[in-house]
């Protein structure tokens, strides 16, 4: 079985992420969406919330599993018996960072390949941080986020105001 890991902060999961997962399902038998703990980043949603939202948002997709992880990504990939890391590319600025990370991961674990998916045109401008800003200003979120995320984000923003 060809398994791939799609790692990220997913703070929160967006339609851009869902698009990558859906497209990756055509190439792999199973996608593990790996939610990173990331102590150094200050996420809007807690680790538990990010995992729950990703689970709810992918529940209609067959062969997608959501799992939390901390520590080295390559260790997690090996533990899951996967062979591939999936990442998305939107802009040139993504490229720089993604390249560094892919090379480092290859150095740490040469048997694991990183595969990049180019963002679909309609999501190329979409980032979790931008969507959070739009939400704070009361913008319409339906083209950007899965429904469970819209509900959770609006709740969180109301609480903060
Ligand atoms: P990280 O903090 O690890 O970058 P993210 O949750 O921001 O985690 O993103 C996870 C992956 O999804 C990254 O490879 C990122 O480039 C990709 N990604 C994020 N948004 C989009 C999008 N709109 N279209 C395609 N790929 C995306």
Sketch the domain layout of the chain as residue ranges.
3-160
The rounded Å distance from CA 99 to ligand 1 centre is 14
Q: Does the pLDDT at position 152 exceed 80?
A: yes
pLDDT of residue 92: 84
Model pLDDT for residues 83-110, shown as the tens digit of each residue: 999 999 998 888 999 999 999 999 999 9
Ligand 1: does its nearest atom lie under 6 Å from the Cβ of 73? no
Model pLDDT for residues 41-91, shown as the tens digit of each residue: 789 999 999 999 999 999 999 999 999 999 999 999 999 999 999 999 998
pLDDT of residue 161: 61
Please give the model's pTM, rounded to 2 decimal places.
0.96
Q: Rounded to whole angstroms, how far apart are CA atoms 51 and 8?
A: 11
Ligand 1: does its nearest atom lie under 6 Å from the Cβ of 31? no
Q: Which residues pair with 35 in a beta bridge?
A: 8, 68
Query: Computed over its alpha carbons, how large is the radius of gyration of the chain?
Result: 15
pLDDT of residue 93: 83
Structural fold of domain 3-160: Rossmann fold (3.40.50)
Ligand 1: does its nearest atom lie under 6 Å from the Cβ of 126? yes
Q: Rounded to whole angstroms, how far apart are CA atoms 153 and 101?
A: 29
Exposed e or buried b per residue across 111-134, where buried means at least 16 C-beta atoms within 10 angstroms of its C-beta: ebebebbebbeebeebbbeebbee
Q: Can you tell me the mean pLDDT for 131-157?
A: 94
């Amino acid at each position: 079985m060809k398994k791939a890991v799609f790692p990220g902060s997913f703070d929160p999961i967006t339609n851009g992420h869902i698009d990558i997962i859906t497209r990756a399902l055509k190439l792999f038998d199973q996608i593990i969406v790996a939610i990173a703990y990331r102590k150094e980043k200050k996420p809007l949603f807690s680790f538990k919330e990010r995992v729950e939202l990703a689970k709810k948002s992918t529940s209609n997709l067959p062969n997608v599993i959501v799992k939390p992880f901390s520590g080295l990504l390559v260790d997690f990939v090996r533990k899951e018996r996967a062979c591939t890391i999936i990442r998305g590319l939107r802009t040139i600025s993504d490229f720089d960072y993604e390249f560094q990370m892919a090379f480092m991961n290859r150095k740490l674990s040469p048997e694991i390949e990183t595969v990049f998916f180019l963002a679909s045109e309609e999501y190329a401008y979409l980032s979790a941080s931008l969507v959070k800003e739009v939400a704070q200003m009361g913008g319409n979120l339906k083209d950007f986020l899965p429904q469970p995320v819209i509900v959770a984000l609006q709740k969180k923003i109301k609480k903060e105001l």
